[in-house]
Amino acid sequence: MISEQLAGKRIAITGSTGFLGTALVERLLRQVPDCHLVLLIRPGRRSNPDQRARREIFRNDAFSRLLGELGKDQFWEEVDRRVTVIAGDVGTDGLGLDADGARAFADCDVVIHSAATVSFDAPLDGAVEVNLLGPTRIVQTLHELGAAPHLVAVSTCYVAGNRRGSAPEQLLSDSPFHIDVDWRAEVKAARRTRADFDAESRSAERLEQFRADARHELGAAGTPLLSAKTEQLRQRWVSEQLVEAGRARAASLGWPDAYAYTKALGERALDESRGDVPVSIVRPSIIESAWAEPRPGWIKGFRMAEPIIISYARGLLKEFPGVPEGVIDVIPVDLVVASIIAVAAKGAASDGSIEITQVASGTRNPLHYRRLVDLVSTWFTENPLYDRKGQPISVPEWSFPGRGAVERQLERVQKNLDRADKALKLLPLRGRQAMINAEVEDRREQVSRAMGYVKIYGAYAECEALYGVDNLLALQDSLDDGDKEPFACDPAIVDWSHYVREVHLPSVVEHARVKTTGERSDPDARTRRLRARVLAPERHLAAFDLENTIIASNVVFSYAWLATRNLPPRDRMRFTIKTLGEAPGLLALDQRDRTDFLRHFYRRYDGASVAEMDRLGQELLADHILTKAFPAALRRVREHRRMGHRTVLITGALDIVVKPLGPLFDDVICSEMSQLEGRYTGELLAVPPTGEVRAQALRDFADANGFDLAESVAYADSSSDLPLLDAVGFPVAVNPETRLASMAAKRGWLIENWSKAGAGTDKWLPLGPLPTPRKSRR
């Protein structure tokens, strides 16, 4: 019996926080009651390995069955008694073990290595460090510790590459299709490739392009955010180049991607490095949701097929490549887990060789691509997903084209959407109109994901290799009668029609959280939920921008009103004509740098009478601002004050304009100009509170008054306000322009579209000097 063979054994497991690893831990705790588990877990950025284990493993619904059988208290007692967590990382030489961890690792009787970079589009160097070098680092560490436990290394059937026909259970070096590649040279090349791309990303030309792309995305968001976005784009570019480099290198050697390529070389490196460590290799095909254990349909995260299935069901993936008569080799996770445990219990080959067990369905119980598509299509025809309007989504009929044709079609759509995005960002759209751009960006992301699916998974849909499972079937036959059912690993037990229709698809839909009924969803429900959080009593502070947030106006309109207040119509017309010539330059400056724009524009106040501006400021409130105010904004300020929240107006507008609004808020932070002999100089006393300066001013205000910005709210309308919005826990985009509308939608922020009280429009947009004699300064 397996439970007897592993009784009293200490079993180390890498990759226990992953899909396969979690299922493995659950099965060992539940069905092998006398073994002790040592989980090697990489520390997180904000959590230690023990915290990660509790959150990512034991609180997963995989343990619901065991939790129900034992009860909560006994379950956690069992975990504490039978599980030891140690900090470690297979991507680091020596596994990153401390002294205690090294002792715990060395004392193990079995090591099951399931940690891997499982993404099929992983950067080349990352896949090399974990998939290729990970197994070798384990045996090297065991050698250093003087230990030789049975190592069960989890690989993949796809190490066989893009071959057609038989792929038996043998080392690649024994295959007639063997390609002699020096794995050490591949490691050096991958690291050098990372360094080369990193160096290229720092060239002047590349950095200028990243900076331009950051500005296109964020607008005038301020130097810190633009710099952070530029660096993010640089790192993303390096990662993308490494993904393409991995794909190209893998393809040149006959593998579908960097995952299969690095796993194949990892096997070779392990064979050469293992020394006296007994090794077995288990090669699953594509692992999917559980057939029966711990419950039918159990899955953790989205695997390979799920995003494709959901995109198809939503009508987003109109075509997908593949060979209709080819085999899609998928295997339920519980069959893989059973195979690994059975191999661990059986022990390594007595002759010292590496025994390979492939856990695949293709030769024993094949699922053909056309049959899979038909099962999925029929199920979603009977159980359609629904769009936002409550209408059922009709699934497309695939014609199984080649990858090239699908990629070209998606590239054409992508280019059209890119053009639309660029054009929309140039238009002065706000509020609901600006949300058109958010919809275009959402569509762009959908097309980009579809393109990724085709590139990443298309090769697997076209794969025609047939993986032999002779050792797997022999393993099943060798099981004791009492183990044949609980540790069943024969793929023949899977009824594909039942599995796809009754087990897998319902589970996929449940985890995808998609709309499965025709009930029209309340479009405002989410807004109400977010609004309730914003107005919760526990909020500390509410910060408001002024222009296009409280009033439908800006510094140009305010200046125009002040400048033309006492001018005759003819002079006003002259100012209007001048506006047409100056507007493009001012707009470009504003989009480039809000602070520079304000400094430049406020020079126009040079020589203006302070007394006259104070008088006109009061008239401006009544004649201009109140007719352009958003009533909903004024009500929101009052709501916050009623809730006991501190309210602050923080704006780059001048105190001349802002002063009359003072009574509405608890505090006001704004721009101020210097004065000389009763007249304004046109020069500011300090950097205007815009961009990152505004965010810092809010932080300083919060610190001085004991407020927690994580419990505070900010309202603003433009991407230049991103530093302010990012500074608080509850950002609100008000009448957002296109860039902010897109970002707010992506980040799940509350979006408010407020209308002004009057329907009138501004008659004049003059940009001339104030009608006040300029007095020279001393």
Domain that holds residue 566: 530-752
The tally of domains found in the chain comes to 1
Residue carrying structure tokens 């025709």: 518
pLDDT in tens, 554-596: 677 666 666 666 666 776 677 666 666 666 666 666 666 777 7
The three state secondary structure string of 144-199 is HHCCCCEEEEECCHHHHCCCEEEECCCCHHHCCCCCCCCHHHHHHHHHHHHHHHHH
> Which percentage of the chain shows pLDDT scores above 70?
88
Average pLDDT over residues 127-136: 96
Asked, for residue 130, whether it belongs to a domain, the answer is: no
292-302 burial string, b = 16+ CB within 10 Å, else e? Answer: bbbebbbbbee
pLDDT in tens, 424-433: 666 665 666 6
Phi/psi for 720 (5° steps) reads -65, -15
More confident residue, 132 or 604: 132
Amino acid, single-letter form, for residue 491: P
**The sheet that has 750-752: what strands, in order across it?**
667-671, 646-654, 541-544, 713-716, 730-734, 750-752
Q: Residue 424's pLDDT is what?
A: 65
Q: Residue 489's pLDDT is what?
A: 95
Q: How far apart are CA 482 and CA 492, in angstroms?
A: 19
pLDDT in tens, 584-635: 666 666 666 777 778 877 888 888 888 888 887 777 776 666 678 888 999 9
Q: How far is the CA of 330 from the CAs of 115, 166, 454, 516, 617, in angstroms?
A: 20, 17, 18, 26, 73
Q: How far apart are CA 665 and CA 542, in angstroms?
A: 10
Across the chain, mean pLDDT equals 86
Asked, for residue 540, whether it belongs to a domain, the answer is: yes
Asked, for residue 183, whether it belongs to a domain, the answer is: no
- Structural contact between residues 45 and 90, judged by C-beta atoms closer than 8 angstroms: no
| CATH code for the domain in which residue 539 is found | 3.40.50.1000
Asked, for residue 564, whether it belongs to a domain, the answer is: yes
Lowest mean pLDDT among 240-244, 480-484, 519-523: 519-523
| Signed CA dihedral, 407, 239, 258, 200: sign only | positive
Q: How far apart are CA 279 and CA 155, in angstroms?
A: 12
Average pLDDT over residues 23-45: 95
The answer to whether residue 460 scores a pLDDT higher than 80 is: no
Q: Residue 773's pLDDT is what?
A: 30
In 659-762, alpha helices (H)? 691-705, 722-726, 738-747
Residue carrying structure tokens 């690893």: 21
Structure tokens at 544: 């408001």
Asked, for residue 201, whether it belongs to a domain, the answer is: no
- Structural contact between residues 244 and 116, judged by C-beta atoms closer than 8 angstroms: no
Q: Residue 430's pLDDT is what?
A: 62
Average pLDDT over residues 536-542: 95
Contacts of 281 (CB under 8 A, 6+ apart): 152, 153, 154, 155, 267, 270, 354, 355, 356, 357
Q: Residue 413's pLDDT is what?
A: 75
Asked, for residue 134, whether it belongs to a domain, the answer is: no
- Structural contact between residues 601 and 559, judged by C-beta atoms closer than 8 angstroms: yes
Amino acid, single-letter form, for residue 118: V
Structure tokens at 770: 């104030």
Q: Residue 514's pLDDT is what?
A: 81
pLDDT in tens, 351-410: 999 999 999 998 999 999 889 889 999 999 999 988 877 889 888 887 777 666 777 777
Q: Residue 524's pLDDT is what?
A: 80
| Signed CA dihedral, 163, 167, 171, 176: sign only | negative
Q: Residue 771's pLDDT is what?
A: 33
Amino acid, single-letter form, for residue 251: A
Average pLDDT over residues 539-552: 91
Element (H, E) at 245: helix 223-252
Is the whole model's pTM more than 0.85, yes or no? no
> Which percentage of the chain shows pLDDT scores above 90?
56
Asked, for residue 700, whether it belongs to a domain, the answer is: yes
Give the side-chain half-sphere CA count within 13 A for 364: 24
Asked, for residue 330, whether it belongs to a domain, the answer is: no
206-216 burial string, b = 16+ CB within 10 Å, else e? Answer: beebbbebbbe
